[in-house]
Chains A and B, each alone.
Chain A
Amino acid sequence: MPSIALLYDHPRWEEKAILQALKDIGADARLLHVETTPLRIGEPCCPIDLALERSVSFSNAVSTAFAVESWGVKVLNPGTVIYLAGDKVATLSLLASHRVPVPETTVLSGSNRINGSLPPGPPWVVKPVIGSWGRMVARARDLEELEQLLSYKEAARGLYSRIHLVQEYIEKPGRDIRVFTLGDRVVAAIYRVSSHWITNTSRGARAEPAPVTGEIEDLALRAAEALGGGFLGVDLLEDPERGLLVNEVNAVPEFKNTVRVTGVRVHMEVAGYAVEEARR
């Protein structure tokens, strides 16, 4: 059986479940705690056939995936996929260029920001270029609020603080859809239900099983392929007029609630896929 390393920083239920699944199917599972293990570029720390990147920190995930890839080892997901999925402008750009429907979005840079090229609105949704769990996502109900939000964001002086991602506000039916793709197939989907317009489960949304329709499957797989494939969480919005739109793609997705409500053992699917990929 192949030797598979689990790259992690702060283990959650998901990482423990994947580790156990790897052991259950007989893989030589190794833990690689990236915050206490120096990773030398081009010099493997240990003989492994494949690595599963599961760091919760975006910067840890990107950097350590690239470092391990320098050993000639396949990483699931690769550093490029993690980076492209983590940068919302890069994600939307790739999706749009692959003709995957996305919410209308404008990228504004610096002080020359509002010049009539905004997406339909108000309201508008303002998002950080890099961010997760629905943090720093806000809704502006008019131009004045939008200006204020952008000013506050710029005052923070962080990386990308002067790049603004402004999207049309989609009137969702009180939910969005999270679809898990693994290679060229969909393994599970859930509705994330909330009375709040932000429907991340980390913000209190309730997970419910969702049917994987042909349309959901097709769109999620097209989005996954555009980003580079692997194990991804594709977030879909249901627009009342245009149908399904791809909102975001997550490259280190959480799936504890999905296992609970769907019964699909996503961790077993991931472990099995990792072994298949390691043998290729």
Chain B
Amino acid sequence: MAKCPVCGLEVRIPEDAMPGELIEHDCGTLLEVVEDNGVLQLRVFEGDMEDWGE
């Protein structure tokens, strides 16, 4: 379990989570999985989705 950096509630990081993966938390915050010294953590996603797509 990790904590949402915005609302402080617990967030479950999926077992197969990968760095860069996005998780939408119940509070509406879009969180990004990041790796720090081999440990997966969450931060608020601050990227730009302007050119995303397929």
Q: Interface on A for B, CB 8 Å cutoff? A: 8-11, 15-16, 31, 33, 35-36, 56-59, 130-133, 135, 202, 233, 250, 252-254
Query: How distant is the Cα of A131 from the Cα of B53 in the complex, in angstroms?
Result: 7
Q: Are B19 and A56 in contact (CB under 8 A)?
A: no
Most chain A C-beta atoms within 10 Å of own C-beta, residue among B16, B19, B47: B19
Nearest Cβ distance between residue A130 and chain B, in whole angstroms? 7
User: Whole-angstrom distance between the alpha carbons of A144 and B19 in the complex?
Assistant: 47
B22 within 8 Å of A by Cβ? yes
**Considering the chains assembled together, what is the distance between the CA atoms of A198 and B22 in angstroms?**
26
Output the nearest chain B residue to A158 by Cβ-Cβ distance: B50
> Does A252 contact B54, Cβ atoms closer than 8 Å?
yes
Q: Are A36 and B16 in contact (CB under 8 A)?
A: no
Residues of A within 8 A of B19 (CB): 33, 36
Name B35-54 residues within 8 Å CB distance of A: 35, 47, 51-54
Whether B18 pairs with A56 at a CB distance below 8 angstroms is no
Q: What distance in Å separates the Cβ of B29 from its nearest Cβ neighbour in chain A?
A: 16
Contact string, B1-40, partner A, CB cutoff 8 A, digits 1/0? 0000000000000001011111000000000100100000
Contact residues of B with A, CB < 8 Å? 16, 18-22, 32, 35, 47, 51-54
B22 and A58: CB pair below 8 A?
no
Structural contact, B53 and A10, CB atoms closer than 8 A: no
> Chain A residues with Cβ under 8 A from B53's Cβ?
56, 58, 131-133, 135, 202, 250
Known: A10-B52, A250-B54. 5 other contacts (CB 8 A): A16-B18, A33-B19, A36-B35, A130-B51, A132-B51
> A132 contacts which chain B residues (CB < 8 A)?
51-54
6 tightest A-B CB contacts, nearest first? A132-B53, A58-B51, A133-B53, A250-B54, A11-B18, A10-B20
- The reply to whether A253 and B54 contact each other, CB–CB distance below 8 Å, is yes
Residues of B within 8 A of A10 (CB): 20-22, 32, 47, 52
**21 A–B contacts from the bound complex (CB under 8 Å):** A8-B20, A9-B20, A10-B20, A10-B21, A11-B18, A15-B18, A16-B16, A16-B18, A31-B18, A33-B19, A36-B19, A36-B20, A57-B52, A59-B51, A131-B51, A132-B51, A132-B53, A133-B53, A202-B53, A250-B53, A250-B54
